[in-house]
């Protein structure tokens, strides 16, 4: 499954109507000035996307800065909520990650490292059920929304899509171990050794961009202060994105015949 680490103190969240054949921004509910969407409703929608969302595919870029240098990684991604996901690293400043593939579906997950020609596989005891995962995410949304102050900041364009912008702030001072995001993943951050995954980081700024039609995360920016007083900044965003179904073979993986296959228990 496409699992993102969620820290106990601070879950970093972000997120995505066709009416009579015409696109219009989805507005979960309104309670703000000028009829702005209710920030909590938008926040909760990040966990369970629009009912008419079939699949997402595109390219996502990660930018990581430690205050002195910025490094990047570009990944091709595809997802069919809520149990099918695929990513492949196209370009990366962590050169040993280029070509890495991750695939998950209802029966398990594959990780493939082409440099080592090693494929790791996890097989689920029972197939993941889409509705079960959706229900679990809805429950998590109900729990998480209580922890934050949310501020709606209008709309901006991300990957040629209209996106709601939310500022997310913990209601109490929170310190997390490492960085955690919803738009992508943090492996690239640690691969660059820009941020130590055991570091205590105080998140000082977090903003998320949510597709106005499909309630799906398009972009996230996180700024954190490290234990030694430095600053770490992470931005992940879709450069291109398509909200249309993809071929079933996208979420299947067959390792090369000469690959070493390792099984996770």
Please write the tens of the pLDDT for every residue from 98-140: 999 999 999 999 999 999 999 999 999 999 999 999 999 899 8
**179, 224 contact by CB (below 8 A):** yes
List, in order of start, the domains of the chain with CATH numbers: 33-264 (2.50.20.10)
Averaged pLDDT in 10-residue chunks for the chain of 265 residues: 31 25 38 76 83 96 88 96 96 95 96 97 94 92 86 97 92 56 53 53 86 94 83 93 96 97 89
pLDDT, position 227: 75
pLDDT, position 190: 44
Structure token pair of residue 90 = 């196209």
Per-position DSSP letters for the chain, written without gaps between them: -------SS---------BTTB-------B-SGGGPBPHHHHHHHTTS--TT---EEEEEEEEEE-SS-EEEEEEEEEEETTTEEEEEEEEESSGGGTT-EEEEETTEEEEEETTTTEEEEEE-SSPPPHHHHHHHHHHHHHHHGGGEEEEEEEEEEETTEEEEEEEEEESS--EEES---SSS-SHHHHHTTSS-TT-EEEEEEEEEEEETTT--EEEEEEEEE-TTS-EEEEEEEEEEEE-S---GGGG-----TT-EEEEE-
pLDDT, position 53: 95
pLDDT, position 154: 96
């Amino acid at each position: 499954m496409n699992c993102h680490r969620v820290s106990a103190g601070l879950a970093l969240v972000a997120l995505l109507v066709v009416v009579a054949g015409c696109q219009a921004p989805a507005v979960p509910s309104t309670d703000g000035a000028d009829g702005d969407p209710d920030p909590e409703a938008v926040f909760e929608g990040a966990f369970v996307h629009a009912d008419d969302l079939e699949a997402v595919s595109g390219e996502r870029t990660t930018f990581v800065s430690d205050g002195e240098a910025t490094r990047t990684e570009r990944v091709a991604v595809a997802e069919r909520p809520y149990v099918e996901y695929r990513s492949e690293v196209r370009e990366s400043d962590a050169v040993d990650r280029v070509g890495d593939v991750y695939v998950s579906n209802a029966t398990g997950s594959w990780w493939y490292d082409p440099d080592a020609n090693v494929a790791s596989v996890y097989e689920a005891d029972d197939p993941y059920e889409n509705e079960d995962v959706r229900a679990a995410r809805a429950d998590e949304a109900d729990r998480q929304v209580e922890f934050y102050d949310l501020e709606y900041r209008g709309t901006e364009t991300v990957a040629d899509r209209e996106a709601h912008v939310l500022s997310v702030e913990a209601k109490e001072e929170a310190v997390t171990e490492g960085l955690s995001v919803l738009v992508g993943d943090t492996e690239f951050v640690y691969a660059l050794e820009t941020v130590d995954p055991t570091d205590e980081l105080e998140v000082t700024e977090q903003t998320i961009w949510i597709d106005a039609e499909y309630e799906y995360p398009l972009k996230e920016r996180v700024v954190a202060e490290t234990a030694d007083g430095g600053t770490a900044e992470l931005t992940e965003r879709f450069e291109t994105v398509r909200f249309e179904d993809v071929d079933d073979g996208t979420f299947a993986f067959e390792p090369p015949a000469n690959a070493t296959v390792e099984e996770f228990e």
